[in-house]
Amino acid sequence: MAVPKKKVSKSRRDMRRSHHALTSLNLVACPNCGEMRLPHHMCGHCGVYNNRQILRDRRQIT
């Protein structure tokens, strides 16, 4: 059974986990309704993508 020979220091442990941090979402305003959405994705509020209406009869969530 593999067992560590020496204790791993906090510095070494934390350096190994340096890339585990969460990144914030890059949100942009929809040009049609102004709601925040992900770039290159359809707006979930109004259903518009690339200045085209993709979903019809999309009801506003209040």
Query: What's the pLDDT score for residue 20?
Result: 94
Q: Is residue 19 part of a domain?
A: no
Query: What's the pLDDT score for residue 22?
Result: 93
Q: In order along the chain (62 residues), what is the average pLDDT of each group of 10 residues?
A: 94 96 94 94 92 75 50
**What is the tally of structural domains in the chain?**
1
Q: Is residue 52 part of a domain?
A: yes
Which residues does 35 contact at the CB level (< 8 Å), separation at least 6? Answer: 29, 43, 44, 45, 46
Encoded amino acid at 39, one letter: P
Provide the residue range defining the domain that includes 61.
26-62
Query: What's the pLDDT score for residue 57?
Result: 66
